[in-house]
A and B are shown apart, each in its own frame.
Chain A
Amino acid sequence: MLNLFKFISLRHLFLKPTRVLLTTLGIALGVSLFIAIEIINKSTLQSFKQSVEAISGKANLVITGPRVGFSSEILDKLKKFKEIKHAVPMVQTNIYFTNQNKLNENLVVLGVDLLKESSVRTYKTTDEEVMDDPLIFLNQPDSIIVTHEFAKRNNLGIDSKIEVATPVGIKVLTIRGLLTPEGVAKAYGGALAIMDIDGANYTFGRMGKLDRVDLILRESVDLESVKQNLSAFLGGAFEVQRPSENSKNMERLVHSYQALLSFFSTLALLVGVFLVINTVSISVVERRKEIGTLRAVGATKISIATMFMSEAFIMGLVGSFMGVFWGKLLSHQMVEMVATSMSRQYVTKISVTKIYFGLEHVLLGVVVGTLTAVFAALWPSIKASFIKPVEAMKKLDFNQLEQKSTLKIFYVGLSMLIYLVVSSYLGLGSKHKVLQYMSQGCTMIGSALVAPAIVTYLASLIKKTVKINLPLLKIALDNLIRFPKRTASNVTTLMVGLILVMMVTTLNKSFQTTLSNWFDRVFKADIVVSSSGDLVGFQTQPLAESIGLEIEEKVKGINKGVTNKGVYALRFTHFNMQGRQMGIKAFDKPDPSYDYAMLDIVDGPARGRVGEKLFNSENTIVVSEIFKAHINKTTGDIVTIETPTGSVDFKILAVVVDYASPEGIVYMSRDTYKKYWQDNLVSAYSLTVAPGFTVNQVRQDIDAQFGKSKSLMTVSQKEMKNNLLIEIDKSFSYTKAIEATALLIAFLGLFNTFMISVMERLRELGVLRAIGMEQIQLIKMILTEAFWQGSLGALTAIILGFGVSYIFIENDLSLILGWIIRFSFPWEVVGYVLLIGIFTGLVAAYVPARRAAQIKIREALEYE
């Protein structure tokens, strides 16, 4: 067997360098995307973990509470636990600093008690730029320490002033020290600042509040029992965790996002499978005589199959190593957009400072890539081993080969697609990784197998319904119909790549349409006011309640309706429930003219009734579909929420659609929220414009009066919607890399099969030249075939892409991602996919067509 590999397989690889190179590149591209996503997934989590560890320092346990903070009285309560050696308080807030490029930079500000800090965390300032006087730092609430990197990037130094938005407007902070990138300063990629705890609370209007307490326990105490005792003592609104558990929560939270990334990267790898199948299949057909001879002189079936698989193994191995290397490069390009997208989605700063690439990635890439190539070669290799010596010696009749098994293949493909529908409907993919891979395999392989029949049918339909007078167009179309297998091998890789493009685009479109429609239904305000930042992702500084009153009083043109109230507050924050970061939206009771539009009810009584109850009776809430799915509570049920003031039972009035959090959302009146959360801050204000005024007039008035002094920004309804759609686009920006990779592999596959099909048809092309076909006519003929193949491949991809995207979005997506998204087909992309199909076909066929035109007629006629 080794001899077969040495004397035949290896030599064949060198005999067909272009084909081997193209196939190897295809595998490399598939592996590169797969590995890039793995590296990114690992790097984002590791970076987050490192940030958590850096901030937790030497703490044994960390107490966290509601996102809005908890009372600092907790420190006194903790004194009764003798096992606690040090309890170190901290407040944590995000500020949005406008840098010299006028871009908003997100800075995490830690408010710490410097006198207690040394027991938990270490800070090191640069030698040259030490804090002049620690007492000034403590005594001046405007003191802030930033990282050296941040200061350098923004051209700042000791005593530099920075303006930051706070709930009560702009405040100026003074830099009193610079941190070296060690210990805490390594967290969040250096986008971090330190303030004194009281200074921070004063500056950000959170007096008496804490966000976390780090605990150092006495030696030889049982950490687990202390943890349990503390949890029981503090109640459900608090979480007592080891630092490592915090990053585990994050791991679970981003799991769905990463699963989607992996889903598409695995599909891109599967596109490469078809490239290998084509290459090996064609190699088998070309080498029938060789197989016959080998079988005649005693080669076994297994050795023949092994011979072909070993060739795929070599291509897979080389391609995988290349892919791992490229994957590392690709991960550097993609990591920022993925991290940004994740940060927005999970409202938690995720900053990747280091790409985690290790031996595990090399091994994973090489194993996955090589196994994929060998797996792809399995079927053609087995088929090769079953060729009988006598048959193999005979002249190959392509006509006869073509007639066989096209229908059989169609039924196999159809069965796979039926399995996909059933598996998707039953949610099998989410139950086990193997079942998920099976579904993915069925998506691609099933589509590929039904494709030849669909392409042939479409071509026949065109032939029957459209009168084609141009002979070249007709010859090319006839070629497609009469040789479905050849057509299929050319079209499959392209089609599979295009299906992936369709899936990604349909997913994006479905998100856009679903959210856009939802926005139109629920959002009735003309203007939203918030502090500067990213309102769509609620990455803004909360505002004081008083600002709303000021706006209402001073700004002209606000519609005050029948209640004489013009500015409505919304508070958006999070709370923990069963280990999930649930969102809260607390609304002011809206004007009756709003008709409770924000309640987009899917389960429950009429909107008006729900609205009246929500705002007029105590302890009532409305929950989102995802909340219902995660917590398993619905309309009429009672749900217990751990509030900062204790456990409270709420009655669920209805279930609504909301997309602000993939974990789940609870709506309540702001009165209820303030009562239990003890938080008067506001995330955003909304208002409508009075008759006789324009949106611009009112906005300009707010900007003039509050824009600079309070660092407020105004967003119109239209802008808000646009921003939302842009954010979705940004969230899907990484998918461009997936599309590009899939199309590149498809291009390589098509180029490969066109080169091969030119060789296969050498005699036919020679005859055409002999009877008078000009070189340019030959090129046109092959390009016309490519046109048909590209367009029919694209059409088939559109049909199948429509089907598999529907199944994926309606069934699998909500299981993977948590979002309940309605399928929306991107009709505008039909033209785009058609164009890509035709363009890829033409470009891939151009070089083979030119080569075909240059063949020597005499040699072509003698070719067998």
Chain B
Amino acid sequence: MKNIVEVKNLTKKYSQGGKHEVNALNGVSFNIPKGQFVAIMGPSGSGKSTLLHLLGGLDSITSGEALIDSNSLSNMTDSELSQFRRQKLGFIFQFFNLLPTMTALENVCLPLLLDKKSLSQVEARAKELLNYLNLSHRMNHYPDQLSGGEMQRVAIARALIAEPVLILADEPTGNLDSKTGHSVLELLRKLSQEKNQTIVMVTHSNEAASYATRLIEMRDGKILTETLTNTNAELI
């Protein structure tokens, strides 16, 4: 099966106060095949968020290589990276990060609007997604008129609008109550299973990780263990 993510010896160093350097990622390598739902876990400072940022092209790679859908992120200019994020990646954040000035529908359309498509061109697809996520009755509401779960579902729809090869989720349930959290995770699993969507999720929660099909545990910028899980029960 084709690998959507190919990471080879990935390193990220941050300078702290000039000369002193911190190794946030220390030679990490792994592949993710299409359709896999990967959870990355680890304590604070383990490098899981750094890894997610590098996979999303949000931060520069110090050394090594990260290929997403066979595209190397290291050689891209800022403009190419932006275009790549719009067309190939979808992001889901802990605090939803919807734009408060736009309705749910407009928020969902945003990545394609930035890709110079008109609202009329992308509206139908956005409505279809919102319908799929049971939000068709909330599409003209602004973020402050939505509940946490609804906001996160809008964010998921936004992540899906460009039919990305990879969804990157950073603590997607960290700001939701447990019931709403479950429904969001269920939705991600459904996407992975039904739509063969590749997802990488960073989380602190074992319960959230249990929805994934593969678990990567990190510590001190390195991969500690990797576990393939077939059922929830095995992990719990």
Secondary structure of the A side of the interface?
helix
A395's closest neighbor in chain B, by CB? B95
B158 to chain A: which residues have CB within 8 Å? 771
Q: Does A438 contact B (CB under 8 A)?
A: no
> CB of A682 within 8 A of chain B?
no
Closest to B142 in A: A482
Contact B101 A774 (CB under 8 A): no
Which residues of A lie under 8 Å from residue B59 when comparing CB positions? 856-858
Please tell me if the beta carbons of A767 and B86 are within 8 angstroms of each other in the complex.
no
The answer, yes or no, to whether A498 is at the interface (CB within 8 Å) is no
Is the CB–CB distance between A772 and B97 below 8 Å?
no
**Which residues on the B side are within 8 Å of A772 (C-beta)?**
82-87, 89, 111, 114-115
Known: A772-B86, A858-B59, A861-B93. A471 touches B101 (CB 8 A): no
Q: Nearest residue in B to A778 (C-beta to C-beta)?
A: B82
Q: Is B91 an interface residue (CB 8 A)?
A: yes
Within the assembled complex, what's the spacing in Å between the Cα atoms of A469 and B83?
Answer: 21
Set of chain B residues within 8 Å of A399, measured between Cβ atoms:
100, 144
Instruction: Give Cα distance in the complex from A776 to B58, angstroms.
Output: 16
Instruction: Decide yes or no whether A478 CB sits under 8 A from chain B.
Output: yes
Q: Give B105-157 interface residues, CB cut-off 8 Å to A.
A: 110-111, 113-115, 118-119, 142, 144
A769-B82, A771-B114, A773-B82 are known contacts. Are A857 and B101 too (CB-CB below 8 A)? no
Residue of A nearest to B84 (CB): A772
Interface assignment of B219: CB less than 8 Å from any CB of chain A = no
Q: Is A520 an interface residue (CB 8 A)?
A: no
Q: Count residues on chain A whose CB falls below 8 Å from chain B CBs.
A: 26
How many chain B residues touch A (Cβ–Cβ < 8 Å)? 31
A774 near B83: Cβ-Cβ < 8 Å:
yes
CA distance A856 to B57 in the complex (A): 11
Closest beta carbon of chain B to A416's beta carbon, Å: 30
Chain B nearest CB: distance from A769 CB in Å?
7
**Which listed residue, B82, B100, B118, touches A469 by the CB 8 Å rule?**
B118
B234 contacts chain A at the CB level, 8 A cutoff: no
Q: Which residues in B have their C-beta under 8 angstroms from that of A861?
A: 58, 93, 97
Beyond A469-B118, A471-B113, A767-B93, is A478–B102 a contact (Cβ under 8 Å)?
Answer: yes
A772 to B53 Cα, complex, angstroms: 14
Taking each of B101, B110, B158, which has the highest tally of chain A beta carbons within 10 Å of its own beta carbon?
Answer: B101
B56 within 8 A of A: yes
Q: How far is the CB of A444 from chain B (nearest CB, A)?
A: 30
Residue B22 is within 8 A (CB to CB) of chain A in the complex: no
Identity of the chain A residue whose Cβ is nearest the Cβ of B79 in the assembled complex: A774
Q: Considering the complex, give the chain B residue whose CB is closest to the CB of A771.
A: B111
Q: A469-B118, A772-B85, A858-B58 are in contact. Are A475 and B102 (CB under 8 A)?
A: yes
Q: Which residues of A444-472 are within 8 A (CB) of B? A: 469, 471
The closest CB in chain B to the CB of A483 belongs to: B101
Docked-complex contact A771 and B83, CB < 8 angstroms: no
A764 close to chain B: CB less than 8 A: yes
In this assembly, does A481 line the interface, its C-beta being within 8 Å of a C-beta of chain B?
Answer: yes
- Looking at A399, A469, A774, A856, the one whose CB has the most chain B CB atoms below 10 A away is A774
Residue of B nearest to A769 (CB): B82
Give min CB distance, B25 to chain A, whole Å. 13
Question: How far, in angstroms, from A856 to B81 measured CA to CA in the complex?
Answer: 13
Interface hits, A766-804 → B, CB 8 Å: 767-777
- Contact (Cβ within 8 A) A776 B56: no
Give Cα distance in the complex from A769 to B87, angstroms: 13
Q: Does A283 contact B (CB under 8 A)?
A: no
Q: 0/1 per residue, A529-552, Cβ < 8 Å to B?
A: 000000000000000000000000
Instruction: Report the bound CA distance from A483 to B144 in whole Å.
Output: 13
Q: CA–CA, A861 to B202, complex, Å?
A: 15
Contact B111 A770 (CB under 8 A): no
A: residues with CB less than 8 A from B are 399, 469, 471, 475, 478-479, 481-483, 763-764, 767-777, 856-858, 861
20 A-B pairs besides A774-B79, A858-B59 with CB distance below 8 A are A471-B119, A475-B99, A475-B102, A478-B102, A479-B101, A482-B100, A763-B97, A767-B91, A769-B58, A769-B82, A770-B91, A771-B86, A771-B110, A772-B86, A774-B82, A775-B79, A777-B114, A857-B59, A861-B58, A861-B93
Question: What are 18 of the A-B contact pairs (CB < 8 Å)?
Answer: A469-B118, A471-B114, A475-B99, A479-B101, A767-B91, A767-B99, A769-B58, A769-B82, A770-B93, A771-B85, A771-B111, A772-B82, A772-B111, A774-B114, A775-B78, A856-B59, A857-B53, A861-B58
Which B residues are within 8 Å of any A CB, using their own CB? 53, 56, 58-59, 78-79, 82-87, 89, 91, 93, 95, 97, 99-102, 110-111, 113-115, 118-119, 142, 144, 158
